[in-house]
Chains A and B, each alone.
Chain A
Amino acid sequence: MIELKQVAKTFGQDEKSVHALHPIDLTIQQGEVVGLLGFSGAGKSTLLRLINRLESPSGGRILVEGQDITHLSESNLRQVRQRIGMIFQQFNLLSSRTALENVLFGIQVSGRAGADATEKAMQALHMVGLTDKTKAYPSQLSGGQKQRVAIARALAMEPGILLCDEATSALDPHTALSILRLLKSLQRERGMTMVVVTHDIKVASYLCDRAIVLEKGRVVDNIDMRSPAPVSLLGKFFFETAKGWTDETVLPEEET
């Protein structure tokens, strides 16, 4: 379970400060898949990065599986992060390491690299269907394959929570869907809690139980994706665009 209590984030100081997030309350249940939906600059990535404390909050409290991580020391924070997997839009694979070595990275830095580390990494690569590419460098892999390696790296650490930061935004629709399918099946298999940042309603519809719509650092909608009933203009806009763009599609900022 992830609990955010009045969590806020301000970048910079004094007059130049930017309120990335106004105080937000959000609870994500164990095994729940929650989408953070919004335009660029809405604060969704910042919100995601607060969950594993890649960003520090300016106010409020963050609890992960009951543990308050708001003011955790660096070394304790590292322990927490090892239970929270994360994948990125740009994959962030180390260019100097092969696919297998990239998966091993997570295991190595966790200090749990025993004799079975390679076996664990191979298992993770097997789960994402990349056993034939273990010795390939990232530059020799396609975008989809790179993201599979990144997923394997996260899985190898057996996380209870997986954070996805625009994980399919850099991929073509065909590859994106195959990655989403993989994430869905892995989530079901392991009952992982997932937080998915996206600007694409199709991603949220396919993957998420619930979508939080963010606008200018505030939560404007909280949509149950099994029977979606958006109440905000922005929430409605996202569902409109799912049907395709037309001349009649109303842009939210035009109306306000």
Chain B
Amino acid sequence: MNGLIEALVQFGPDLIKATLDTFMMVGATMVSAILLGTPLGIMLFLAAPFGLYPQHAVHRLTSYFVNVLRSFPFIILLVLLIPFSRFLVGTSIGPKAAAVALSIAVIPYFARLVEQNFRDVPRGMVDMAQSCGASPWHIIWKVLIPEAMPGLLASLTVTATGFIAYSAVAGAVGAGGLGDLAIRYGYYRFETNVMIWCVIIMFVLVQATQWLGDGLVRLFDKRV
């Protein structure tokens, strides 16, 4: 117990820095998921063979792209993206570079979740909208997104908690963050107490994210 408190005093600044790095990496990942993963998911849904606007070639291409990107082990993706990271954020190491790789990795992952959430919207809703003379734009914005919102928020929560843990792998490029700190200090330097603190903070982050996500889902879900 004393050891834990000593570790907190000694490594407090490192823990704070690592927490902030994790926030930055997961934050960038979530922004990318929402801004890039969502439209890709919508495209997958709309262009599907029995979708709203079947586009065989578009769907095939998008689907392949998603599957290829999802097939890469994250470490390999990280290495492959080094030139891209350098171009985008000016560095190929550290939390910024890791944020780039994580932000790319999350796009196809979240797109598939979005696609599934849209499929779960009853087809009758779309029939109704079309019978009212709604345009594709209206159907997406006024029917599909609002009706899928509880599911989308739940998916976003799963993605966020998953990528909090995932960001630890990015330690391989000296990414910083809590996972990296846990490995470098806790594992390699036998500072078990630092590792314990890292795990505790990550647990709190995951718990808080889940709590926030569940709250948002409840707020938007009017189906009960």
Contacts and interface: CB of A to CB of B under 8 A. Distances in A.
Given A137-B222, A139-B222, A52 B142 contact: no
A96 interface: yes
A96 B148 CA distance: 9
A38 interface: no
A75 B134 CA distance: 9
A157 B128 CA distance: 13
B221 to A, nearest CB: 8
Interface string B125-140: 1011111111100100
Interface string A154-186: 000100000100000000000000000000000
Interface residue SS majority, chain A = mixed
Nearest to A95: B223
Contact of A94 (B125, B127, B220): B125
A110 B132 contact: yes
A110 B146 contact: no
B149 interface: yes
A95 B147 contact: yes
A217 B122 CA distance: 26
Interface residue SS majority, chain B = helix
Interface in A78-95: 78-82, 84-86, 88, 90, 92, 94-95
A105 B132 contact: yes
Q: Which size class do B's interface residues fall under?
A: 20 to 34
B224 interface: yes
Nearest to B220: A96
B118 to A, nearest CB: 14
A78 B136 CA distance: 10
A109 B222 contact: no
Given A105-B142, A108-B142, A139-B222, A92 B127 contact: yes
Interface of B: 122, 124-125, 127-135, 138, 142-143, 146-147, 149, 220, 222-224
11 contacts: A75-B135, A81-B132, A81-B133, A82-B133, A86-B127, A94-B125, A94-B147, A96-B146, A96-B220, A105-B142, A109-B133
Given A88-B124, A90-B122, A94-B146, 9 more contacts: A81-B131, A81-B133, A92-B128, A94-B143, A96-B149, A105-B142, A108-B138, A109-B129, A163-B131
